[in-house]
């Protein structure tokens, strides 16, 4: 039966579900204050704070104990709820959780849902190990040759080791800044101003990165460098104009050197080619002279052998070959007339010129007139030779008659 239904027999001693006796003449729900009072009493009994027996002040003491038990019960429920809430935590994909147990390092928790012992384990911090952090430094520094240069540097880094980053150093970013400045000053102080401003900047950047990473490893801060760039190096503004003039002069020097090298690259191959050609020509001439001398020596040896066997014939042959070689390139012919005291001179060059002006083909042929200089008669054909011989004989007869 329901608690608010009257019992059979109308027994006034029946109780409702909370243990309250039904009030006479009232079938409605019980009083809320009374219900709350009964709950407090039960909690008080459970916590050992029941009413004291005897004495006139037992009622006041019981009320105080009931209030204290209610407060303790509420605190207990709150405590248990907070403990349950605090024992569960999550770690993001890019993070690593550093767990301390009673103030001492316990473990590194990976991404996911995790449980820890309340009030014993605590999360020191969640370190983002994938984020690339950046630090920028701009300082004026003294170079090795006692000049001042302004340097701007950017450092990009990651917290590679969550435990070291969270526990070994109190402020790892500050340690990174101090180490970066120290490494940069050390390297710039070992370089000259020209190296810092021009061609040596790349090497300075590499040296600073190596030195900075060594410092961080020595400090054991769990930081790994991702990138280090020296963005700008410039002289102080007071002497900027003078440095600009120096840079311009250096660029002009380099340009002139490049032009000289280009001219040298054009001239040297030509000169080397000409020298090689002259050497090859000299070598060819040497071989030619040696070959001609060897041939002449062999020919003389052969002629000597032939002369030893037939001196007269060989002497006549040598004479005729010599005369033929001498008169082969001349346009004049001398004829020794038998029985006469004078030697006849035949102007063959004039005869050929006269023959070139005539139209008769029985005189000099076209082959004989092909050479305008008239210095070579080897190109005359047989008919030309016969025609020329006839003219010579007629001229001889004419002069005899005279």
* Tens-place pLDDT, residues 78-103: 888 777 777 888 898 999 999 998 88
The pLDDT of residue 54: 45
Low-confidence ranges of the chain (pLDDT < 50): 1-13, 18, 22-26, 50-60, 359-376
Pairing of strands 104-109, 112-115: unpaired
Longest CA–CA span in the chain (Å) reads: 204
Helix 201-219 vs helix 172-189: crossing angle, to nearest 10: 140
Q: pLDDT at position 135, please?
A: 95
Q: How far is it, in rounded angstroms, from Cα 368 to Cα 374?
A: 8
Burial class (CB in 10 A: 0-12, 13-18, 19+), 242: exposed
DSSP letters spanning 365-395 = -TTTTS-TT----TT--HHHHHHHHHHHHHH
- pLDDT at res. 67: 65
Whether residue 151 contacts residue 196, with contact meaning beta carbons closer than 8 Å, is answered with: yes
Q: Rounded to whole angstroms, how far apart are CA atoms 180 and 157?
A: 12
Place of tokens 């991702």: 226
Cβ proximity of 378 and 387 under 8 Å: no
Sheet holding 223-234, edge to edge: 133-142, 148-159, 223-234
H or E element in which residue 333 lies:
strand 332-336
Which whole-number Å values give the CA distances from 169 to 13, 162, 164, in the listed order? 74, 11, 7
* DSSP, res 4: T
| Residue pointed to by tokens 């020296």 | 230
The pair of structure tokens assigned to 76 is 């207990």
Cα–Cα–Cα angle for 390, 393, 397, rounded to 5 degrees: 140
User: Closest Cα to residue 112, out of 98, 100, 96, 131?
Assistant: 96
pTM of the model: 0.47
List the beta strands (DSSP E) in 44-168.
88-91, 95-101, 104-109, 112-115, 121-128, 133-142, 148-159
Pair 167, 105: CB distance under 8 Å: yes
Inter-residue contact 176 to 213 (CB < 8 Å) = no
Nearest Cα to 367, choosing from 389, 385, 354, 347? 385
**Euclidean distance between the first and final Cα of the chain, in Å?**
190
The answer to whether the beta carbons of residues 4 and 28 sit under 8 Å apart is: yes
**pLDDT value for 87:** 84
């Amino acid at each position: 039966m329901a608690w608010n239904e009257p019992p059979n027999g109308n027994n006034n001693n029946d109780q409702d579900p909370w243990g309250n006796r039904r009030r006479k003449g009232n079938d409605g729900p019980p009083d809320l204050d009374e219900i709350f009072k009964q709950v407090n009493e039960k909690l008080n009994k459970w916590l050992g704070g029941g009413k004291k027996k005897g004495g006139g002040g037992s009622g006041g003491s019981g009320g105080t104990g009931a209030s204290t038990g209610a407060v303790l019960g509420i605190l207990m429920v709150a405590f248990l709820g907070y403990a349950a809430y605090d024992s569960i935590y999550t770690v993001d994909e890019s993070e690593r959780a550093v767990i301390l147990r009673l103030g001492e390092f316990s473990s590194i928790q990976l991404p996911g849902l995790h449980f820890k012992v309340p009030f014993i384990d605590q999360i020191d911090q969640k370190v983002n190990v994938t984020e690339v952090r950046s630090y920028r430094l701009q300082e004026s520094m003294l170079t090795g040759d006692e000049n001042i240069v302004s340097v701007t540097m950017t450092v990009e880094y990651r917290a590679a080791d969550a435990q070291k980053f969270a526990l070994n150093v109190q402020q790892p970013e500050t340690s990174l800044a101090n180490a970066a400045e120290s490494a940069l000053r050390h390297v710039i102080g070992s370089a000259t101003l020209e190296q810092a401003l021009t061609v040596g900047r790349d090497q300075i950047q590499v040296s600073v990165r190596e030195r900075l990473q060594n410092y961080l490893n020595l400090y054991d801060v769990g930081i790994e460098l991702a990138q280090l760039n020296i963005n700008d190096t410039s002289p102080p503004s007071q002497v900027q104009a003078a440095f600009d003039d120096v840079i311009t002069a250096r660029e002009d020097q380099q340009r002139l050197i490049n032009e000289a090298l280009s001219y040298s690259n054009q001239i040297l191959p030509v000169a080397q080619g000409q020298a090689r050609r002259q050497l090859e020509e000299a070598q060819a001439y040497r071989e030619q002279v040696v070959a001609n001398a060897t041939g002449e020596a062999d020919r003389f040896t052969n002629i000597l052998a032939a002369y030893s066997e037939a001196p007269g014939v060989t002497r006549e042959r040598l004479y005729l070959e010599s005369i033929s070689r001498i008169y082969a390139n001349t346009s004049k012919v001398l004829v020794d007339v038998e029985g006469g005291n004078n030697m006849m001179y035949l102007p063959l060059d004039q005869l050929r010129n006269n023959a070139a002006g005539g139209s008769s083909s029985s005189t000099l042929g076209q082959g004989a007139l092909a050479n305008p200089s008239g210095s070579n008669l080897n190109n005359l054909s047989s008919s030309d030779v016969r025609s020329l011989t006839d003219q010579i004989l007629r001229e001889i007869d004419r002069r005899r008659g005279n």
